[in-house]
Amino acid sequence: MKLNKLLIVFPLLVLLSIACSKEGSSSGDAATSASKEQEIRDYNLAVEKEQAKNRFPCDTISLREYVKDNYGEGNYLVEFDRTFTYNIPKSAVIYFQDDANYVLAVIAKSKPGERFIESKNVIGFESSFINLDSTKLGTAFFWLTLFECNDGEFTRLWESEVPIHGGFNKMSIKTWKPKNLKYVELNYEDGIISGNRNYNFFMTNGWKRAPHLLETYSALTMKRTMANINNDKYPDYYEYDFTSHFWEDSLRIIRLRDSIPFYWSEKRQLYITNRTSKWFRKY
């Protein structure tokens, strides 16, 4: 009888021991991963500092160090897509002066509780499929961030989230001609729609205030272009409606069916159209 009880209890103790071991190993692996990531970033920064010839206050090396020290593990200063823009990696940073010394940057943050993202997994065409990847490469949250540089110190003025998780390509400052208004264009590759998306951040209240977001895109059967619909200070857009059908020999024909004007409503804080009250967009 006692032997039978031992035969039942012993396997249960073994299973419990294995489960506890796995749980401890999992938390240990997470801690090790964070520690290893920090070591790699410290080493890379040390090498860059040693090899840098022309340093200046608030330069890119200083900004990477600031992000490492103030944003925590799993958060990075993003790089331009080398495939389409540069032959060597270049950080997504723009320096400019406009009544102050500004530093504009794109920062990617890892979703808490998930695997840390890797910068190579959120940049370029292939990373635009990251939401469909079954290998769990982590979820990236992009933030357009503006810093002011004073006496070599960074002051974060604002950060504005970009509603996309992968496919970053490039960033540039442009001017919307109808209102002579500055805006920052972030370009993303999007393989899912076979095209690209632009997230346009308009400085409707100057550089020191959080910007206004408008999305435009162009793909095989999707298109949205910037416009000036109601002549206020906010940009508007046309959203195009396409239709497709098959012709002889299974040839697919795509035709433009209609264009729908959307304009910004300050009252509702949404993009709306006069076509129907059921259609509205956040950006």
Q: For the segment 168-198, what is each residue's pLDDT rounded down to a tens digit?
A: 999 999 999 999 999 999 999 999 889 999 9
* pLDDT in the model for residue 33: 58
State the alpha helices, DSSP H only, in 121-165: none
In the chain, % helix, strand, coil (3-state, to 5) comes to 30, 40, 35
- pLDDT band at 272, cuts 50/70/90? very high
Tens digits of per-residue pLDDT, 136-174?
A: 788 999 999 999 999 999 999 999 999 999 999 999 999
Mean pLDDT, the chain, as a whole number? 83
What SS3 state is found at 35? helix
Whether residue 176 lies inside any domain: the answer is: no
Averaged pLDDT, 104-132: 88
- pLDDT band at 96, cuts 50/70/90? very high
Q: Quote the domain boundaries for residue 1.
A: 1-51
Whether residue 92 lies inside any domain: the answer is: no
* pLDDT in the model for residue 3: 41
Mean pLDDT lowest among 11-20, 102-111, 115-124: 11-20
Q: Does position 268 have pLDDT exceeding 90, yes or no?
A: yes
Whether residue 147 lies inside any domain: the answer is: no
Contact present, 138 and 127 (Cβ < 8 Å): no
Q: Does position 42 have pLDDT exceeding 90, yes or no?
A: no
What is the secondary structure of 188-253 as a DSSP string? EEETTTTEEEEEEEE-BTBTTSPPEEEEEEE-SS-EEEEE-SS-SSS-EEEEEEEEEEE-GGG-EE
Whether residue 37 lies inside any domain: the answer is: yes
Whether residue 32 lies inside any domain: the answer is: yes
Q: How many domains does the chain have?
A: 1
β 223-227/236-246 pair status: antiparallel
Q: Does position 1 have pLDDT exceeding 70, yes or no?
A: no
Angle between helix axes 60-71 and 2-51 (nearest 10 degrees) is 150
Strand partners for 76: 108
Whether residue 47 lies inside any domain: the answer is: yes
Whether residue 39 lies inside any domain: the answer is: yes
Mean pLDDT lowest among 32-41, 46-55, 259-268: 32-41
Averaged pLDDT, 1-30: 43
Whether residue 19 lies inside any domain: the answer is: yes
Tens digits of per-residue pLDDT, 69-78?
A: 999 889 999 9
